[in-house]
């Protein structure tokens, strides 16, 4: 855990998906206790997304973590994702929204915590 879902308006190439997946796994380590090995990255591209009623390149990233994560690490990770999406996909930071949800209950590896 965490689960990180990218909803992106643009259709991505296999190479772009690989970069987003790999960089997300590398960047998530700024949150103490989080590693690429336990992170699920879900990339959903080619969505019909509108901002201000217009179809423009945009993205929504949904981050879900088990238990409270250290605030400075979360802030750094979110900032790093803004930079990643702008650098690799050309999506302006003004058109990216990111949410972070923390859960006290979670099920994984066949166990409910």
pLDDT grade for 12, boundaries at 50, 70 and 90:
very high
Say if residue 24's pLDDT is above 90.
yes
pLDDT grade for 109, boundaries at 50, 70 and 90:
confident
Q: What's the pLDDT score for residue 61?
A: 98
Whether the model pTM is above 0.85: yes
Q: What's the pLDDT score for residue 113?
A: 87
DSSP the chain: --EEEEEESSPPPHHHHHHHHHHHHHHGGGSTT--GGG-EEEEE-S----BTTB--S-EEEEEEEESPPPHHHHHHHHHHHHHHHHHHH---GGGEEEEEEEES--EETTEE-
% of the chain at pLDDT higher than 70: 100
Q: Average pLDDT of 88-109?
A: 95
CA distance linking residue 91 with residue 44, whole number of Å: 15
Q: What's the pLDDT score for residue 108?
A: 86
Q: Average pLDDT of 21-26?
A: 98
């Amino acid at each position: 855990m965490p689960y990180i879902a990218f909803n992106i308006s643009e259709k991505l190439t296999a190479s772009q998906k690989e970069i987003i997946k790999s960089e997300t796994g590398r960047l998530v380590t700024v949150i103490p206790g989080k590693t690429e090995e336990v992170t699920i990255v879900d990339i959903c591209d080619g969505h019909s997304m509108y901002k201000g009623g217009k179809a423009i390149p945009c993205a929504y990233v949904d981050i879900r973590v088990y238990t409270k994560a250290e605030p400075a690490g979360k802030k750094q990770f979110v900032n790093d994702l803004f930079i990643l999406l702008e650098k690799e996909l050309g999506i302006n930071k003004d058109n990216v929204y990111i949410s972070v949800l923390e859960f006290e209950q979670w099920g994984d590896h066949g166990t409910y915590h």
